[in-house]
Chain A
Amino acid sequence: MDWTDDGIVLSARRHGESSAIVHLLTAAHGRHAGLVRGGSGKRARGIYQPGNQVRAVWRARLSEHLGSYTCELATSRAAALLNEPARLAALSAACSMAELALPEREAHVPVYLGFIALLDALEEDTWPEVYVRWELGLLTELGYGLELDKCAATGRNDQLAWVSPKSGRAVSLSAGEPYRDRMLALPAFLTDGTEAGPGEIAAGLKLTGHFLNDHLFRPFGREMPAARQRLADRFANLSTGKTGFGATTA
């Protein structure tokens, strides 16, 4: 059996001398692995860089087999970001999040389309907001969406400032004040669409990171990907006046 689909390269692990096991996030087939013969050779290695968009043909004798891919590069995304530390960190974070959080062979079209939007946004200045929104979309698509449109306590939608770390619902400034030590900050750009600074992006990443970890990683004994942690550290450092990756380890 075989199919053809558009996909985004999430990872390529060397297999044998010149082949690679490539994970793609495809439009209609979800996160799907396949063997690429010659995929880690010097000619093809450039195609299978995380973030690149490809037109993929997957073939296998039976559907449950690993199968093999033949891919043609559609849009080279990684090359344009190699000299952009923060954007490259976001690309790595998104690829590792999609690889580790999404179930295999299950179509999640909104996540795929959101990923394409994120790749487009990485060429613009608004990419940090888009990245946080993509993670919110990932949570929603996997059944753990946050309710950020009205206060869980009052039902009103003005002055939303917090998110309950348990329910994932927004809480207004006054209703959440007594519990502020336990609440997660809700950055304004997620409710009113205003431009976000490094501090607000750091708060957004902390917010999505809490729920991603709570629902998709910790219950399975896994840790958040290091690339995602480095991205969060980068914005946390920027918001406190430091620069760079900070002291994050693996």
Chain B
Amino acid sequence: MADDIENLIQLLAKLPGLGPRSARRAALHLIKRRESLMEPLAKAMTDAAGSIRLCSTCGNVDTRDPCAICTDPRRDPAVLCVVEEVADLWALERTASFKGRYHVLGGTLSALDGVGPDDLRVGQLVSRARADDVTEIILANNATVDGQTTAHYITDQLAGTGVTVSALAHGVPVGGELDYLDDGTLMAALRARRAV
């Protein structure tokens, strides 16, 4: 096999969801559709690699800094939603139900992996809470031990800033059947029950 094709397969195999076998199939698919897919894809990747940057305000990825969300005048600057990763921001954006702005931490506190507060964008969040006209911060951390430890740490760091700190609810997902739910989710749902 030619070096260029082998190189293409090796790089494709590094993508999530692809192994060496599926990378070969993807490479062959691209080669067969050279003009309609391979060349536009290569151009799109080159363009994106040249223009993508991190938003210095919220940590989102965009082609401009500040990002489109931070500069959108229709969004409420008084409400910030804190997420661990950009993927979480995209997940919330898919719901189209949040009209505030975001703050991407870049991970969670992890003692074993040596991730401390200085490795996350906690300091910038506190600065935003103090400097901007922020009235509420929604902590949308994952419902994991590391995620919630990070959320509690942030809550303590935000004490004294005067903003209201809230967190996402944990419980029964839409379409979830109680019989199939894990004990932890059921327990959390029971504890977070509300009057109807």
Interface residues of A (CB under 8 A from B): 11, 13, 17, 45-47, 49-52, 73, 75-76, 78-80, 82-83, 85, 88-89, 91-92, 95-96, 99-100, 225-228, 230, 243-246, 248-250
Residues of B contacting A51 in the complex (Cβ-Cβ under 8 angstroms):
145
Judged by a CB distance under 8 angstroms, whether B73 is at the interface is no
Q: 6 closest A-B pairs (Cβ-Cβ)?
A: A250-B116, A79-B184, A244-B156, A85-B152, A76-B184, A227-B111
From A13, A75, A78, A246, give the contact of B145 (CB < 8 A): A78
Residues of A contacting B106 in the complex (Cβ-Cβ under 8 angstroms):
none
- Show 28 residue pairs from A and B whose CB-CB distance is below 8 angstroms, ordered by the A residue: A13-B112, A45-B144, A46-B184, A49-B144, A51-B145, A52-B184, A73-B182, A73-B183, A78-B144, A78-B145, A79-B170, A79-B187, A80-B187, A82-B145, A83-B170, A83-B188, A85-B156, A88-B148, A89-B149, A92-B111, A92-B146, A96-B111, A96-B112, A99-B112, A225-B111, A245-B157, A249-B117, A249-B118
**Size category, B interface:** 20 to 34
> In whole Å, how far is A102's beta carbon from the nearest beta carbon of chain B?
13
Asked if residues B185 and A83 are in contact (CB atoms below 8 Å), the reply is no
> In whole Å, how far is A93's beta carbon from the nearest beta carbon of chain B?
8
Residues of B contacting A11 in the complex (Cβ-Cβ under 8 angstroms):
112
Residues of B contacting A49 in the complex (Cβ-Cβ under 8 angstroms):
144-145, 184
- Count of chain A to chain B residue pairs whose CB atoms are closer than 8 Å in the complex: 97
Asked if residues A46 and B185 are in contact (CB atoms below 8 Å), the reply is yes
Asked if residues B182 and A225 are in contact (CB atoms below 8 Å), the reply is no
Nearest B residue to A80 via CB reads: B187
Residues of A contacting B17 in the complex (Cβ-Cβ under 8 angstroms):
17
Judged by a CB distance under 8 angstroms, whether B27 is at the interface is no
Nearest A residue to B143 via CB reads: A82
Judged by a CB distance under 8 angstroms, whether B16 is at the interface is yes
Bound Cα distance from A244 to B118, whole angstroms: 17
Asked if residues B145 and A92 are in contact (CB atoms below 8 Å), the reply is yes
Bound Cα distance from A80 to B188, whole angstroms: 6
Nearest A residue to B181 via CB reads: A46
Asked if residues B182 and A47 are in contact (CB atoms below 8 Å), the reply is yes
Asked if residues B148 and A46 are in contact (CB atoms below 8 Å), the reply is no
Asked if residues A243 and B156 are in contact (CB atoms below 8 Å), the reply is yes
* Extra A-B contacts (10), CB below 8 Å, given A89-B152, A246-B156: A11-B112, A13-B112, A17-B17, A49-B144, A79-B184, A79-B188, A80-B191, A100-B112, A226-B116, A250-B118
Asked if residues A243 and B188 are in contact (CB atoms below 8 Å), the reply is no
Bound Cα distance from A96 to B116, whole angstroms: 14
Bound Cα distance from A244 to B117, whole angstroms: 14
Residues of B contacting A75 in the complex (Cβ-Cβ under 8 angstroms):
183
